[in-house]
Amino acid sequence: MTDHTRDTLYIDGTWAVPAGTATLTLTNPYTERPIGTVPAGTAEDVDRAARAAARALPGWSALPWTERVAYCARIADGLKARVAEIAAVATAEMGAPYVFSVLVQAGFGVADFASVADVAPRVEWRREQGNSVLTRRAAGVVGAITPWNYPLHQVTAKTAAALAAGCTVVLKPAELTPGVAYVLAEVMADAGLPPGVFNLVTGTGPDVGEAIVTHPLMDMVSFTGSTRAGRRVAELAAAAPKRTALELGGKSASVLLDDLAGDAFAGAVAATLTGCLNNSGQTCSATTRLVLPRARVDEAAEILAGLAAATVLGDPADPATQQGPLVSAAQRDRVRGHITAALADGARLVAGGPEQPAGLPTGYFVKPTVLVAEAGSRIEQEEVFGPVLTVVPYDGGDDAALAVAEGTPYGLAGAVWAADADRAAAFAGRMRAGQISVNGGVVNPTAPFGGYGQSGYGREMGADGIEEFTAVTAVQF
């Protein structure tokens, strides 16, 4: 078994010995065995990284944006050359099936840096307005705090945009899945990125994360994670105050309008389940609510039961595996707790359940689970972050469907399906969500991503993602 141990941090262009001696243990979620350790960084480590980033900021931000984009292109090439390694690390640390890790866990990270060359020219870096010249300038030193579910993509979506904008970065990756961030740091060093432009400090949220948010040299914090943790970040940052961008939870609805029939209906049901189960349901924008006319619930339930039963769970290194384990025992227990509570509240179990899957004595698995529950119930309202789909009936027309779809505090993503494409587009135009798929429209990696309500604020990816890390200065003549 490959040893995932790392004993240094990446600060000011060098592999630095951490200030303390404490470590964090990494665990393979399939074998449930330790696979290595990384440093448990401290506030002192954050201070060193912040000072390095602040020293590097004037020179980096002064470069023409075209030169910063060229660095991003070199980083993309370096990541592409190491896709297999990145995928293997992601699979070992967070349990995603290897095929999925190649295409998404590694592939999206490559795309984040590669797309900068296409989207940066769309940023209005300079424009004249009356007697003023407006320029977009780097927001400053950015503290980036990222989650474990997409351990490379969540990092690169922030750092590629921040670097293109002229910012310098101090990164705290998730403590459960830091390995790919080390690979990224190696790639950045190989690309010749100037010292201090990118810094990596591993550790826990209370120790490293809060030190980043409160450090006086941090001009901006970009955070992705739970709504609860996002509130804490916003609270701490407000004391300065300093800019924040928060990408938080979701409870995305896939809405089937009442004109769907036959294969189109079955296809929409299947696509919704796929959107829920990808990455073992550990996706903030997952379609975790199937909202459909009450008269179609049993028809959908029959389709879903068959699809859930046919899903192959197992060793994420096996190409046949479609769903791997959840990232940790705590996450598994949390998701199972949601299922148990939903059943106690009266939800109807269509497939799955809280038990360990048969034939898998180890691994933090949760069965693909389908429940039927009413709008307003706990399982319909709360983010589960696991392979759990809630079928939610509505009574009435499109207005009733929209009321159910928007009946949660979140607004990250959504989907709508209808036989009449114009009707579906009109419905999407009324949904309050950051990204909406119409009749199976695929994800666009250069489109902005972010939410409304308790899903946070700010946008990542695309030109909007770069602009998020800038501030506008007006010079009058």
Tell me if 177 sits within 8 A of 148, measured CB to CB.
yes
- Residue 312 burial by Cβ neighbours in a 10 Å radius (0-12, 13-18, 19+): exposed
| CB neighbours of residue 356 within 10 Å | 15
Helix/strand/coil for 132: strand
| CB neighbours of residue 66 within 10 Å | 11
- Which residue type does 288 have? T
Cα(5)–Cα(179) distance, rounded to whole angstroms? 9
Cα(325)–Cα(147) distance, rounded to whole angstroms? 17
Tell me if 392 sits within 8 A of 375, measured CB to CB.
yes
| CB neighbours of residue 330 within 10 Å | 11
Residue 355 annotated in active site: no
Nearest to 251 by CA among 68, 110, 379, 109: 379
Residue linked to tokens 């705090």: 145
Q: Which of 93, 210, 247, 380 is catalytic?
A: 247
Nearest to 258 by CA among 206, 293, 300, 294: 293
Residue 175 annotated in active site: no
Q: Which of 167, 276, 284, 467 is catalytic?
A: 284
Question: Active-site positions?
Answer: 247, 284
